Amino acid sequence: MIYFDNAATSWPKPPQVKEAMVRFMDEVGANPGRSGHALSVEAARIFYEARESLSSLFHAKDPSRIVFTLNATESINLALKGFLRPGDHVITSSMEHNSVMRPLRDLEKRGTELSVIPCSEEGTLDPQEVEKKIGSNTRMIVLNHATNVTGTLLPVREVGLIARKHDLLFLVDAAQTAGAYPIDMERDGIDLLAFTGHKSLYGPQGTGGLVIGVRVKEKEMVPLKQGGTGSRSEFEEQPDFLPDRFESGTPNSVGIAGLLAGIRFIVEKGIEKIRKHEMDLIEKLIGGLKEFPQVRIYGPETGLGRVATLSFNVAPLSPAEVAFRLEREFGILCRPGLQCAPAAHRTIGTFPEGTVRFSLGYLNSKEQVDRALQGVSRLARE
Amino acid sequence: MSQGVILFPSIHFVLQAEKIVKGKGFLIDLIPVPRQLSSDCGVCMLIEWEQKDKLYALLEGEGVKIERAYPLPQKEKTSSGE
């Protein structure tokens, strides 16, 4: 079996991820920071270490400003709904996933003004178009770092500079890049970084977070929920300090134990090495697919300006049929359709049928790419 | 020698403080917050009271958020270790 659906969730995970989770269940198990006993402290230590590793990975300045959530979607909802009020204006791109689009459309119904900047057919964004839309009531710019449809990288650093210049909040959806592409919140001008743990950070599902930059006034961000934090228990009001302000209720401790092992795996390998391997694979894949006249590739056709996610179609077959046959006849698991990003497909001209998406990861091999190319070749030549 | 405790807003800062002071010659331990000081359910740092100022300087210098420090009554001394 060949797993090419890493943009949905990475699989397999490095073995140390499962081992850390089993160790947590066998030897720790307690509720972090909720009691004074050794196991509760040990559980809290896992969270502390995970915050520190993530802070260093993203060049964030203060680990206490990392809030754990279930996934990037929850993090994005927290940042958008925490800050945006009726009358505020927010700018985004036409390549966003529904994790950004749906909360924005909901906010729009409640009176927040929304501008969606059209991207090119390759999924690229002109930062000047973003700047042109900035008005007196603009509060935030939100952008995905790399799209989950074509793998195109968006000009985060350039837009970050624009956000700083106009003193706007800049929220980046790093679901497709955290762990696979270098992120430097300071250099890239990112104020709020939403990440997921179960993709390129190789953690389990149900882990994610929001990094709240040092410029952000967190007291202006309204929590999505309130509840027990293990701190200030004598008060019935939510604590106002980080990370507790946004972390109520028992967290996914076993998941964070796995995520910490995933992050350590990445740090040990090095993001540059991971990226090189992934780009070698994707360039080989693109090179092979370009041999078939029936195949149309969407997005950048080199390793520059992209991550290891590729959308294509095989004429005259539908994406669903290609994906089904690749699985049944060649054991290749991929994702056809709209990949939860209708706006992105409208932008690249593939709405409503969508595309076939191959999303590769560090644990895929050149042999797997060769076998996938053989499969596509068979379908293309029919 | 008399002992005391440093209280932090949350467990994150307790663990940050522990990491910073470890291996620097301070005699500290993490213990449940004494009931008479706070009804909080978390942990705090048990210290040698005479090292309080040095610890404060070190921790505040590293940006650790500290809540308060209290001397402990001599008779309620808790055993400590690093």
pLDDT digits (tens, 9 = 90+) for A277-307: 999 999 999 999 999 999 999 999 988 899 9
Mean pLDDT of A233-245: 92
Q: What mean pLDDT, rounded, does chain A reach?
A: 97
| Residues β-bridged to residue B70 | B5
pLDDT digits (tens, 9 = 90+) for A52-63: 999 999 999 999
pLDDT of B81 strictly over 60: no
CA nearest A40 in B: which residue?
A: B42
Chain B nearest-CA residue for A50: B12
CB of A299 within 8 Å of any CB in chain B? Answer: no
**pLDDT bucket at A167, cuts 50 / 70 / 90:** very high
Whether chain B has a CB inside 8 Å of the CB on A236: the answer is no
Residue of B nearest to A63 (CA): B12
Instruction: Give the sheet arrangement for strand B29-32, strand by strand.
Output: B29-32, B43-48, B3-7, B68-71
**Chain A positions in Cβ-Cβ contact with residue B40 (cut-off 8 Å):** 231-234
Confidence of residue B82 (pLDDT cuts 50, 70, 90): very low
On the question of pLDDT at A212 being above 70, the answer is: yes
Question: What is d(CA A222, CA A9) in angstroms, rounded to the nearest whole number?
Answer: 29
Contacts of A44 in chain B (CB under 8 A): 11-12, 14-15
Are A44 and B65 in contact (CB < 8 Å)? no
Strand, coil or helix: A183: coil
Residue B39 has a pLDDT of: 65
- For B58, residues 6+ apart whose C-beta sits below 8 A from its C-beta are B20, B21, B24
Q: Could you give the ipTM of this predicted complex?
A: 0.87
- Whether A230 sits inside 8 A of B41 (CB atoms) is yes
pLDDT of residue B80: 52
